[in-house]
Amino acid sequence: MLVSDLCTKLNERLIREFLDFLLMIELKNQSMSGYTALSHIHNKYDYLVSSGTVYSLLYSLEREELIQGSMNGQKRVFELTTKGEKMIDTILAADDSLLGIVKNLVRSL
């Protein structure tokens, strides 16, 4: 397997596993509809994710009170709640620690 193929597969796996955080980080910057979230993931990460996955994740985050949805005309728009903002701020502040965890995990293989 080529290194580029391996990196592509690892990148896709990380996007899938951390899709909730990626969406919440973007919601910190702007409110989004489900369609906008789909477009964002595709445009920013060059990764196609199904609409069912994104909407299911958005509704799950809403049940956990990390995001809040409201109707804006014909579409439902989501925004980060205070609880969600605190979580994202904590994750972003711990980025060096998280990187260290990933490095240690890979080194232990």
Q: How many domains does the chain have?
A: 1
CATH at 74: 1.10.10.10
pLDDT of residue 40: 94
What pLDDT is recorded for position 85?
96
pTM, rounded to two decimals: 0.83
Q: Which domain holds residue 20?
A: 3-107
Best CA proximity match to 24, nearest among 62, 74, 56: 62
- The Cα–Cα gap between 76 and 36 comes to 11
Q: What is the pLDDT of residue 5?
A: 82
DSSP state string for 8-60: HHHHHHHHHHTHHHHHHHHHHH--EEHHHHHHHHHHHH-----HHHHHHHHHH
Chunked into runs of 10 residues, the chain (109 residues) has average pLDDT values of 79 89 94 95 92 95 97 95 94 79 69
